[in-house]
Amino acid sequence: MIEIKNIVKTYKTGDIEFNALNGVSFTINDGEFVAIMGPSGSGKSTLMHILGALDSPTGGTYFLDGKDVSTLSDDQLADIRKDKIGFVFQSFNLLPRTTVLRNVMLPLIYEGVASEEREKRAKEALASAGLDESHFTHLSNQLSGGQIQRVAIARALVNNPTLILADEPTGNLDTKTGEIVLETFRKLNKELGRTVVLITHEQDVAEHADRVLFIRDGLLIEDKKKIHKHI
C-alpha cells in the first residue's frame, strides 16, 4: 500500500538549508496498524505531511496504492487526500455549533453526494467509530473530548479511505479517554481492516500499534514489530 524510498525533505531559509528527512525508506502493507514515533524535531511531522499528500518530498519516491504520489500536482494531491486518506488530528477540527451528524456529513456535501446517502454513510461511520446514536443530534461542543475525537474519526471514515492517518490523536485527551480512542483505532484496524498510521511522541501510545517506526534526526533508526498494549 505505502512504499517510501529514500525520502528527503529539505527546507531553505535564505542561504541556509535544513534536511528534515535524510533518506527514509519503509513499506506499510494493507491492513497494518503502524505507529511512527519520535521526539519533537525528529522529522515525524514532516513525514506525516508527505504521507498525507499535504506536502511533496525534495527527493525520493512515495507510492500509495501503486501511484507515485511524489510526482503529482497540487490538484492531483488534493484528489488523493479526498479519495484515499482519512485524517484525524489532535485538535479535532470540528465545527462547534454544528450537529455531530452534519460534521461527519460535510465532506460528502462538498462532493455533491445526495442527502439520503450522506446521512446513511455518516451514521454508518459514527457507528464504526463507536459513538452512541443518542449523540448524533448533539452539537459537537456539547460532547466530551473522547466523544469529539470519535466524531473526528467518523468524519475520517465517511469517504471510505484506504488509509487513516492520525496525528497525535490523543494529545488533548486525558489518559483514560486516550486509551478508549486508541482502542477505537485498533477495532477499526482489526474488525474493518483499515490501514492505520499513528503519529506520536509517546511510547505508551505507540505500543497500541502492531509495528513502530522510530524516527530521529530525519532518519529511520528502528522498525520494531508486534508491540502491544492490551486494555
Query: pLDDT under 70 in the chain at which residues?
Result: 226-231
pTM of the model: 0.87
* Predicted local confidence at residue 175, as pLDDT: 87
Residue for grid cell 528534515: 20
**Residue 199 pLDDT:** 94
For 128-151, letters b (16+ CB in 10 Å) and e give bbbbeeebbeeebeebeebbbbbb
C-alpha cell at 73: 500536482
In-domain check, residue 230? no
Give the number of other CB atoms < 10 A from CB of residue 78.
13
* The pLDDT value given to residue 177: 87
Task: Give the pLDDT confidence score for residue 229 in this predicted structure.
Answer: 47
Q: Is residue 81 part of a domain?
A: yes
Question: For residue 231, is it within any domain?
Answer: no
Q: Which three cell numbers stand for residue 4?
A: 517510501
Report the alpha-carbon angle 150-55-168, nearest 5: 30
* Domain at 99, CATH number: 3.40.50.300
Residues spanned by the domain of 59: 2-225
Count of structural domains within the chain: 1
**86 within domain boundaries:** yes
Backbone angles phi, psi at 61, to 5 degrees: -130, 150
